[in-house]
Every structure is written in structure tokens, then in C-alpha cells.
Structure 1
Amino acid sequence: MEAARQTHAAGKVQDYLKQIGRVVVIEGKELAVFRTSGDEFYALENRNPHPKGGPLAEGIVSGHYLYDPLYDWKIDLRTGEVQAPDKGQAAVYPVHIDGDTIFIGI
């Protein structure tokens, strides 16, 4: 049985630029938080699933996808799934907004 997630405040909506990743550390986990041009928020572990690793926060956001310029990978922000022909999975964390505060579940 999975333990219940706790939510943690991760700043205000206005603290996040659209289509730019921001690193947030919660409970020792380094997360990459993204705000899309449509004002949707996504949080992924800030660790590229590529065998050589690297940060995800430096990727380029377009729609619901993150483009990693280092390895030319495309990752779905909603699921963390690396798109074909590449394979891999980034850990995703639930995000919700209450008022103007962003909360992330860990």
C-alpha cells in the first residue's frame, strides 16, 4: 500500500515564468516545476531519465511537452514518459493551486 502524499507549498503562481523550468527542493527531492503557456503546472523529478542523466529544469516547454536540448528527447509533462523513438520515464508529482499558491504532493 502506497503511503499518503503530503502536499507542500512551492511558491506563488506569479513566481513562475511561463515555459521556463524552476528548481524546487521539497523533502530533499529536487524537482523541476514548469508552467505552460496555458497556465498549467507540472512537477517532475529534476533528473533526466537518459542513462547519462542531467537536469530537466533546463529543458524547453512547448504545449505539454518538455524538450531536452542535451539529448534531443521529448518528455510528456503530464506522465513523465519519454516519447518514441527514445524510452524512459521521469518521476512526476501532482500539482494543485489553491488561490495563488502552488502545492506539490510528495
Structure 2
Amino acid sequence: MSKVFVEYQILPQHRPVYSGWIQNVKDKNPEMELLEGVDQPGLFIEVWNGMTREAFERMKTSRKSDIERPLVEPGPVAGYIDVDWRRLDSWIEGGAAKIHIWHFNKVR
């Protein structure tokens, strides 16, 4: 079982629009869980369950690349094709460069 963790800090003034947008993402992607830092309000972690290495690489490219990114990034993660990840950039302190993404596999 693999998990992908995506971490970023949402600027306070963008929290209301982010909250509505991320709820829509969650509704389309039941395999994604959203966590917020208790001691760091605005610090969010997305936890994606069961993502393949290939889907992770596509996600990382579509969310962090400095080049012109596609509006949608097709992949085997349900609903993922319906998300415009570029919208998130302007709500994050430091933009896309401050999105941190990790892929983990369960230790056997």
C-alpha cells in the first residue's frame, strides 16, 4: 500500500476560496484525506492512498513544474482529471515552489 503526501501553507486571506475548492477535490477523490496542522493553522497535508509510482510522477510534474503545466493531468487516480491544480499556486505562500510531495511504500 502506497501513500502520497502533499504539503503546503495556505495564505490566510485565501483560506475561504481554498476551503470550497479543496472540498470539491475531496468530493471527486475519496482516496484523498486532508489534514491541517493543529499547531500551524493553514498548513495542510493531502494524503493520497493507493497511488502508483507512475501516477505520483504525473502528479508531481503537474503540481510542481516551472514549465507551463497542463490544465488537467490524466491518471489512474479517480477524479484526478477533473482538478485544475494551477489554481492552488496563488493561494500558497511561496507558490508552487513551496509544494512538497513525497511518495511512501509500506515497510514489509
Fold shared, TM-score > 0.5 on shorter chain: no
Asked which structure has the greater RCO (Cα within 8 Å, sep 6+), the reply is 2
Structure with the bigger percentage of helix? 2
- TM-score, with structure 1 as normaliser: 0.30
